[in-house]
Amino acid sequence: MIKTAEKLRNKKILVTGAAGFIGSNLSMAILKSVEGASVTGIDNLNDYYDPSIKEYRLEQIEKTAEASGSGWTFIRGSIADKKLIEDLFRDGSFDIVVNLAAQAGVRYSIDHPDVYIESNIIGFYNILEACRHYPVEHLVYASSSSVYGGNDKIPFSEEDKVDHPVSLYAATKKSNELFAHTYSKLYDIPSTGLRFFTVYGPAGRPDMAYFSFTDKLRRGEKIRIFNYGNCKRDFTYVEDIVTGIMNVMSRAPEKSKGEDGLPVPPYRIYNIGNSSPENLMDFVRILGEELIRAGILDADYDLDGHMELVPMQPGDVPVTYADTSRLEADFGFRPQTSLREGLRRFAEWYAEFYL
């Protein structure tokens, strides 16, 4: 992280979705570790999930900024607001943009398609247009493992075809990659897309399985285990994700010319995951043990009695498994946090926040 921090020194950085799970952790990491960095965050603080968690994250960022003496500015607004984004870029003179603002959730996209088009398509287009008219050194943006759809080949490689999404959310993320490639080609904008694999950790998204399972188990309700427990997920701890993002931020794809004299798109895509998928049933048992350890559940809690095995949900896939060899080769980066350690940190945070 030291070399990465040196490369980001004195940079002006925009983080969209700054009150989100990954955005808030990234903002804090930059403020803590990068000398002279100035971070501007934007988020619309929508109510897709409990806004109090977003407010909590913003408070943590502000405390971090005060302790480090680094520059932090927050703007409440939507990246789908074209004038707001244009004004922000014109006045901000950003060196690096990290676009993490998006409407998340696979299942939610089935019933609420409009918000995905607004944020993930129109919002990302506005970011690209702003990078075109107010050039930046590097645009880093969130894609998703969901672009792999129903691919049977595992682990998922960046070289695999991603032409068969199984949810609207996945389709919007695939479109982000296509848009970014086009703008990189036409306007020589260095851009890197990151396909995230099941990010988890303290103050995470309440709609994610580990968080919603915790809520339900605490209330004595049953949790639904999809595909009868025959699922595997490449769970990746949020601090590992942030380290990976900062590595990528520090090195933009190089600009070059092709034989035709036109720009070769300075464009890259990376998987960023744990490259070690966990069986969902094993995950639930580890979570249960850590919730008991943290005092959230009683020591004699009947976990098996609170599980209901159900079929696969529309839009879901049975396995996510990242081939991260490209990221490791280019940056020497591999996640370090075990699932038990990560879930322990989550359980400790949950107990502190809710109990």
- Please list, residue by residue across 88-119, b when 16 or more beta carbons sit within 10 angstroms of its beta carbon and e when fewer do: bbeebebbbbbbbbbbbbbebbeeeeeebbeb
Task: Pick the closest to residue 191 from 102, 275, 130, 118 (CA basis).
Answer: 130
3 state SS of 319: strand
Decide if 63 contacts 8 (C-beta within 8 A): no
Q: How far is CA 20 from CA 1, 108, 208, in A?
A: 22, 17, 13
* Active site residues per annotation: 169
Distance CA 332, CA 317 (A): 29
Dihedral sign, CA of 204, 208, 209, 215? positive
The DSSP letter of residue 132 is H
The two tokens of residue 329 are: 């080769």
Q: How far is CA 302 from CA 1, 116, 306, 346, 350, in A?
A: 42, 39, 7, 21, 20
Beta bridge partners of 9: none
